[in-house]
């Protein structure tokens, strides 16, 4: 049962992610990205991490993507022009080559890393299941490890970013 759900979500995540890149219409890309985040959240649920899943939805699919959507919508980005057909004898754009090399590199790296650590590393750790508990996350985040300070420092960081955005973007009087 869980295996079937896993394959459904995994397939969904991969297909939607691929389609995000393939779309010419930026709105469709945004929606597919949201779907991809949703599928990821599904995978988190299967990993017994409902809190992570919900956070994924609230923050990524709910908050960040709404901003994306608004930007795309309000800028009214036009449909991307299809690339000019490759003329025989002329080189393909450099970006494409770099992207191809980088993705090959990434794939090779992944295979190498997986072969090094072996699949046994993914075996389920019974202790890991309890990490999903909100209480544990909360006490780790705020009571131990000094993350409380990092948390507060981040709030200053965000405040600075906000002031910056307002002061740079507002209309001159």
Partner 1 sequence: MTDYAAIIPIVIVALSGTAAMLAEAFRQPGERMPIAGLGLIGLAGAALASVFLWDSDARSFGVIRSDNFALFINLILCVIGVLTMLFSNEVVEREQLPAGEYYALTLYGICGMMMMAAADDLLIIFLALEVLSLSVYVLTGLRRASEASAEAAFKYFLLGSFSSAFFLYGVAFAFAISGSTRLDQIGVALSAQGAGTPPTLALLAVGLLAVGFAFKVSAVPFHMWTPDAYEGAPTIVTAFMSTGVKAAAFAAFVRVFLSPLEPLQAQWVPILSAVAGVTMILGTVVGVAQTNIKRMLAYSSIAHAGYLLIGLISNSPTNGAGKAAVLFYLLTYAVTNLGALGIVALLGTLQNQHDELRDFAGLWKSRPVLAGLMTVFLLSLGGLPPTAGFIAKWYIFTAAVQEGHYWLAIIGVLTSVVSVFFYLRIVVMMYMTEGTETPRPRVPATAMAGLALATAAVFYLGVLPTRILDLALASIATIF
Partner 2 sequence: MGWLPPAPVVAHLGLIFVIFNMLVLSAAFMVWLERKVCAYIQDRVGPNRVGFEGVLQPFADVIKLMFKEQLRPKAADTLLFAIAPVISAAAAFAAFAVVPFGTETTLFGLLDEPIPLQITDVNVAVLVIFAITSMGVYGIVLAGWSSNSKYSLLGGLRSSAQMISYELAYGLALAAVIMLAGSLSLREIVMNQAGTWWGFIPKWYLFLQPAGFLIYMIAGVAETNRAPFDFPEAEQELVAGYHTEYSSMSFALFFLAEYVNMVTVSAVATSLYLGGWLGPFLPDWLAWVWFLVKVFLLLFFYVWMRWTLPRYRYDQLMEFGWKWLLPAAVINLLATAALVLWLE
The residues binding partner 2 (CB under 8 A) are 25, 27-28, 31, 34, 50-51, 54-55, 57-58, 61-63, 66, 69-70, 73, 133-134
Q: How many residues bind partner 1 (CB under 8 A)?
A: 18
Nearest Cα residue to 42 out of 28, 25, 26, 54: 54
Residue 154 CB, nearest approach to partner 1 (Å): 6
Instruction: State in angstroms the smallest separation of the CB of 124 from partner 2.
Output: 19
Q: Which entry of partner 2, partner 1, none binds 100, CB below 5 to 8 A by partner kind? A: none
Nearer to partner 1, 86 or 128 (CB): 128
Residue closer to partner 2 by CB (options 70, 112) is 70
Instruction: Work out how close the CB of 157 gets to partner 1 at its nearest, in angstroms, rounded to a whole number.
Output: 5
Residues 6+ apart with CB under 8 A from 69: 27, 30
Helices and strands in the chain, H and E counts? 7, 0
Retrieve residue 103's tokens.
Answer: 């993705």
**Is-contact 13 34, C-beta < 8 A?**
no
Please say whether the beta carbons of 36 and 20 come within 8 A.
Answer: yes
Cβ closest to partner 2, residue 98 vs residue 163: 163
């Amino acid at each position: 049962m869980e295996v079937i759900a896993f394959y459904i979500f995994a397939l969904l995540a991969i297909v939607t992610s691929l389609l995000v890149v393939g779309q010419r219409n930026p709105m469709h890309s945004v929606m597919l990205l949201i779907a991809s985040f949703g599928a990821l959240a599904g995978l988190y649920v299967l990993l017994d991490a409902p809190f992570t899943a919900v956070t994924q939805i609230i923050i990524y699919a709910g908050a960040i993507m709404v901003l994306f959507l608004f930007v795309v919508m309000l800028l009214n980005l036009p449909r991307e022009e299809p690339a000019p057909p490759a003329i025989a004898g002329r080189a393909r754009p450099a970006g494409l080559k770099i992207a191809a090399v980088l993705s090959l590199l990434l794939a090779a790296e992944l295979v190498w890393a997986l072969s090094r650590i072996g699949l046994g590393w993914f075996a389920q750790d019974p202790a890991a299941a309890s990490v999903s508990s909100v209480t544990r996350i909360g006490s780790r985040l705020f009571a131990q490890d000094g993350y409380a300070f990092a948390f507060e420092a981040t709030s200053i960081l965000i405040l600075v970013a906000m002031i910056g955005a307002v002061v740079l973007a507002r209309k001159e009087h």
